[in-house]
Amino acid sequence: VCTLEQSYGSCSGRSMRWHYDFVRDRCVQFTYSSCGGNANRFNTRRACIKFCMDPINRYAMQDFENEHIN
């Protein structure tokens, strides 16, 4: 989830969401179209930080991704 690029979605709605920018190592707000897109989308900055920047989650995510690379 946290390594996916930001995706605005494919509809014409407009709602503010947060995504994790893997390159800049921070959560960034963006306008979401209200449908489509990907799972790198959080309702709040806090949820984004907790899921993608929390050290416990980060290490678990790295282990999971490494298993799928091999």
59 within some domain: yes
Name the residue range of residue 51's domain.
Answer: 15-69
pLDDT tens for each residue of 25-66: 999 999 999 999 999 999 999 999 999 997 665 555 544 444
pLDDT at 70 over 50: no
Handedness of CA 69, 22, 7, 27 (dihedral sign): positive
**CATH label of the domain that carries residue 59:** 4.10.410.10
User: Does some domain include residue 8?
Assistant: no
Residue 68: its pLDDT value, please? Answer: 43
The predicted structure's pLDDT at residue 54: 78
Q: Is the pLDDT of residue 20 over 60?
A: yes
Report the predicted TM-score, pTM, of the whole model to 2 decimal places.
0.75
Closest Cα partner for 18 from 38, 39, 48? 48
Mean pLDDT confidence for 14-29: 96
Structural domains in the chain (count):
1
